[in-house]
A and B are shown apart, each in its own frame.
Chain A
């Protein structure tokens, strides 16, 4: 077992240790434990990324030396390494943003945040590195159970309702997923992805399992029309939580979806099924963007933008299935750059709301002068969402676009570019309002921590810079791709 392999269990277990330690120690110690882990976790994620890049092949680790199906296998391919690095940076950014907010006394909200942040990280790592559908189920549940308390963090009735709605729908998704697992296990006697990939045939049990698991995962990803829980949950939470939830949590189930279709059941993925998934994605882009175009509140607008942007991820399924390798890169790049951009947007929106005392878009006048860093971060992140070069979003959309054209599925090309236009429309609303003059009766903006604004800006800049290194990312993301 090489030293690089040890990075995998470390990425999975150390954040769990940090969460436990924080829970036991309590108070400010929880914050310190979480921040300590964040620093270590960023280094660890990039070490893993480098290891995968240098090896040019997926890095694997078998817990206790037992090979699957008996033991638990962990494996980091390009997708996992890239997403883990994104997780590290986004979660680290959210932690920096939230640092010191709670004061010195232990509060329920503070403790929950600092315990659940590393727990969520650990669950993400489990999803990214796991190679067994049941272990992945466990990680997915952990992710939900880490995210729900975070959504309910501020203790208000609205937040509790949103969290409950989220929990109920996520559990519905879990049930469907678990049902599918049971069917697969009954039919094939294994839940290991690699083994299933060799065994799975389109028999009724496997087909039903595929449909059920997919629907369950889509419910957890909040793909339109299964998005009812996302807007209230993401818009009602504190900024750091919204950033984590919108940037990372919904991507967990999406990665699982990719593992399911391109790892475990590739033989089942008919062209029609790919088209159904992408059609739901296209609907998500349209519906999410149109609602965002008319949404009067900033945080809800950003949440609906997530609904729309998740749609882009689905477009990669029929394109990859048709053999366009660049669509895989494009989809993963979209997931990563959206993670940075959306985290930046929620953090910037949080700073704006804190300074202005409200988040009505109509009342944003004068914000560009008062908080240039936050508005700048919002605008830069918007460039990525729109797909303006040289941002990561541009590279992602370019790859999806050429993949759609080369595989003859021009209708998805139309969706990609039309979605960019709608995105530009709703971002324009925000930026035009923020660039306008302040209302004469508006109170002067309250001071907000510069650090929070800087974190948002840094994440936004990252999302733009991603477009400048697609080549190196390209090589990485292709490692272990179907």
Chain B
């Protein structure tokens, strides 16, 4: 039953994609995108812990199944996809190019939702690649020069990430004793693998790239703002969680990776602060939100890294809970950038509450998310850094709200459906963590209401709010960092390599002359003779 639901959660988007081949489908499907993720929601609700579904057990062993962390992320991501689908109906579905947008949307969705239940190397790689590559069509949708550049940078880095993962998966398969490609069966061999370090480094690079870890985050602040708002929402909310679920799935928190846990923690904290520092210099609210995503994924990576280094078996679920809040809240805020307009109570106040939630404002879902990863940040240094990053998040998110207010048109009247999607998702981000925390075994949410906890949670928020005021006053003096900060030096470096290509071109042209080819033929014969003679 759950197996069928899991299968359906990938097949329904693909089926709707196929329906676009007919004129009737092109007319209706763009308006029905909100329905496509429903099987995934059902599967996540019913399917956690059920025995996995194995397709073609004798040969391919495509395996689909959900554990608690992946079920949580899948359900929330599907909820976001559905709400964003409503937003598409409200904004894009009647515009020219709606069918094309729907095609890329459904393909990306199929990949994005397929990543969570995929339990074998090939299926996971397939879903991950589809999600990464198809997102290209969402980013480039507006066909502006900025969108083109963002999409091409994203595609290049996505391909790089794919290559990292491909090699890592091949190394995993190579180190495992059997023929099976089930993740659960290849991972135990990782600890004793001769290529352990390389494998883990490639996994972190490949998944970190998708999740936006520094220095591989450069595509994210370009791509997420360039897409139409509903696409930004799913890119920043749901799609980067493919990287998170990859880290959760492939880095076992059983203490065998304690050395790499430290690396991941360091990367995570650097990312968390880098995102804040660059984000506060940005003017476009969507770019600020994208940098906030980078920063938040840094916190996720740091929490997971700490869980790995101390071998906490509960870490994946706690991390998934934290990331799950980000799915809803960030997705909602990106929808909010499109729904901003009209009465302030309908966009600015909810946005402010969500924004402060990222800093851990008590009573918000964000406060519960922070409480869930308390165990991981229990150390003195880690706790201090986590509190500092919460303060930074507060500053960054208040900056985002200010930029949003500056850009919003008070006279505009966003479509009702868009507003409903935005407010519904915002409410979900605030309330769902309350409903989910205790059933998931992550502690009683009411514990965050104890006076001592309240005070502890309020300090970063208040400090951050103070800093945000300072930023408002003196922010203009900050240097302007271009979107995608480290990308520009990287591009300069790449241009340096151009003469290399020109040299190779000349060499190839010289080899195509007859005398050179004749000599090459003789040399090949000679080389083969030498090689065939073998060792004397």
| Inter-subunit contact A406/B174 (CB<8 Å) | yes
Whether A421 lies near B534 (C-beta < 8 A) is no
Q: Chain B: how many interface residues by the 8 Å CB criterion?
A: 53
Report which B residues bind A (CB closer than 8 A).
56, 59-60, 122, 125-126, 129-130, 133, 140, 143, 148, 152, 155-156, 159-160, 162-163, 166-167, 170-171, 173-174, 195, 501-502, 504-505, 507-508, 511-514, 516-518, 520-521, 524-535
B439 CB, nearest partner CB in chain A, Å: 36
Interface of B is mostly: helix
Q: Is A55 an interface residue (CB 8 A)?
A: no
Residue of A nearest to B173 (CB): A402
State in angstroms the CA–CA spacing of A389 and B159 once bound together.
Answer: 12
Contact of A207 with B517 in the complex, beta carbons under 8 Å: no
Q: Determine whether the beta carbon of B528 is less than 8 Å from that of A276.
A: yes
B174-A273 in contact (CB<8A): no
Contact across chains for B152 and A226 when beta carbons are under 8 A apart: no
A396 at the binding interface (Cβ < 8 Å): no
Q: Answer whether residue A401 sits at the interface, using C-beta atoms and an 8 A cutoff.
A: yes
Contact A471 B160 (CB under 8 A): no
Across the interface, do B126 and A207 meet the contact criterion of CB distance under 8 Å? no
B126 near A389 (CB under 8 angstroms)? yes
A406 contacts across to B, CB distance below 8 A: 174
Give which listed residue, A207, A227, A286, contacts B529 with CB less than 8 A.
Answer: A207
Task: Report Cα–Cα, A172/B171, bound state, in Å.
Answer: 43
Q: For chain A residues 219-244, which have a beta carbon within 8 Å of chain B?
A: 219, 224-228, 231
Q: Assuming A290-B505, A428-B152, A471-B60, is B521 touching A226 (CB within 8 A)?
A: yes
Known: A215-B521, A401-B166, A413-B167. A291 touches B504 (CB 8 A): yes
Q: List 25 A-B contacts (CB under 8 A).
A: A169-B517, A172-B521, A202-B533, A207-B529, A210-B532, A211-B526, A211-B528, A215-B528, A225-B524, A226-B524, A228-B511, A228-B512, A270-B533, A272-B530, A276-B531, A280-B524, A293-B501, A389-B130, A390-B126, A398-B170, A405-B171, A413-B170, A421-B160, A428-B152, A471-B56
Q: Write out the residue numbers on chain B whose beta carbons fall within 8 Å of the beta carbon of A287.
A: 504, 507-508
Residues of A within 8 A of B (CB): 169, 172, 176, 202, 207-208, 210-212, 214-215, 218-219, 224-228, 231, 268-270, 272-273, 275-276, 280, 286-287, 290-291, 293-294, 386, 388-390, 397-398, 401-402, 405-406, 413, 417, 420-421, 424, 428, 432, 435-437, 471
- Given A202-B532, A228-B513, A390-B126: A417 and B163 interface contact (C-beta under 8 Å): yes
Structural contact, A424 and B159, CB atoms closer than 8 A: yes
Partner of A405, one of B152, B170, B508, B517: B170
A417 with B166: in contact, given A212-B525, A388-B133, A428-B152 (CB under 8 Å)?
yes
**Roughly how many angstroms separate A13 CA and B396 CA in the complex, as a whole number?**
76
The answer to whether A275 touches B174 (Cβ under 8 A) is no
Q: Report the bound CA distance from A424 to B130 in whole Å.
A: 15
CA of A471 to CA of B55, assembled, Å: 13
Q: What are the residues of chain A within 8 A of B167 when measuring CB–CB?
A: 401, 413, 417
Return B323 CB to nearest CB of chain A, in Å.
25
Residues of chain B within 8 A (CB-CB) of A172 are: 518, 521
* A402 contact set on B, CB distance < 8 A: 170, 173-174
A227 and B512 form a contact (CB under 8 A) = yes
Q: B532 is contacted by which of A226, A273, A388, A471 (Cβ under 8 Å)? A: A273
* SS of A interface (majority): helix
- A273 proximity list for chain B (CB < 8 A): 528, 531-532
Q: Is the CB of B517 within 8 A of A225?
A: yes
Residues of chain B within 8 A (CB-CB) of A210 are 528, 532
Bound complex: CA A98 to CA B268 (Å): 58
With a cutoff of 8 Å between Cβ atoms, the chain A residues found around residue B129 in the complex are 388-389
Shortest beta-carbon distance, A102 to chain B, in Å? 33
Chain A residues within 8 Å of B166, by CB: 397-398, 401, 417
Q: How far is the CB of B130 from chain A (nearest CB, A)?
A: 8
Query: Shortest distance in angstroms between A173's beta carbon and chain B's nearest beta carbon?
Result: 8
With the chains together, A475 CA to B518 CA distance in Å?
Answer: 41
Known: A294-B505, A405-B170, A428-B152. 5 other contacts (CB 8 A): A172-B518, A224-B511, A276-B528, A428-B156, A435-B140
**Contact status B122-A389, CB under 8 Å:** yes
Kindly list chain B residues whose C-beta atoms are within 8 Å of the C-beta of A293. 501
Complex: chain B residue closest to A231, CB-CB: B512
Hey, which chain B residues are within 8 Å of A405, CB to CB? 170-171, 173-174, 195
Max chain B C-beta neighbours (<10 A), residue from A219, A225, A406, A436:
A225
Q: Which residue of B lies closest to A400 (CB)?
A: B170
- Tell me whether A211 and B529 are in contact (CB under 8 A): yes
CA distance A388 to B136 in the complex (A): 15
Chain B residues whose CB sits within 8 angstroms of the CB of A398 once the complex forms: 122, 166, 170
B380 to chain A, nearest CB (A): 42
Q: Which chain B residue has the least Cβ–Cβ distance from A410?
A: B195
Q: How far is the CA of A211 from the CA of B524 in the complex (A)?
A: 8
- What is the bound-complex CA distance between A232 and B354, given in angstroms? 62
Assess the B525–A211 pair: CB atoms within 8 A: yes
The residue on B at minimum CB distance from A304 is B508
Complex formed: what's the CA distance from A294 to B514 in Å? 23
Contacts of B501 in A (CB 8 A): 290, 293-294
Known: A389-B122, A428-B152, A432-B152. A268 touches B504 (CB 8 A): no
> Nearest-CB distance from B252 to chain A (Å)?
21
Closest A residue to B127 by beta carbon equals A389
A231 to B518, CA, bound (A): 17
- Check if B170 sits within 8 Å of A401, measured CB to CB: yes
Interface pairs A-B: 4 shortest CB-CB: A405-B174, A272-B531, A211-B528, A270-B534
Q: How far is the CA of A273 from the CA of B171 in the complex (A)?
A: 26
Q: Which residues of A contact B531 (CB under 8 A)?
A: 270, 272-273, 275-276
Bound-state Cα–Cα, A437 to B528, Å: 50
Provide the residues of chain B in CB contact with A269, threshold 8 Å: 532
Q: Known contacts being A202-B532, A215-B521, is A421 close to B163, with CB within 8 Å?
A: yes
Residue of B159, B173, B507, B524 most packed against chain A (CB within 10 A): B524
For residue A395, give the distance in angstroms from its CB to the closest CB of chain B: 9
Of B56, B170, B524, the contact of A218 (CB 8 Å cutoff):
B524
**Closest residue to A290 on the B side, CB-wise?**
B504
Question: Which residues from B are CB-within-8-Å of A225?
Answer: 511, 516-517, 520, 524
The answer to whether B528 and A214 touch across the interface, beta carbons within 8 angstroms, is yes
Least CB separation from A401: chain B residue: B170
CA–CA, A285 and B129, complex, Å:
23
* With contact pairs A210-B532, A228-B511, A272-B534 given, residues A219 and B521 touching in the complex (Cβ less than 8 Å): yes
B527 to nearest A CB, angstroms? 5
Known: A218-B524, A226-B517, A402-B173. A207 touches B155 (CB 8 A): no
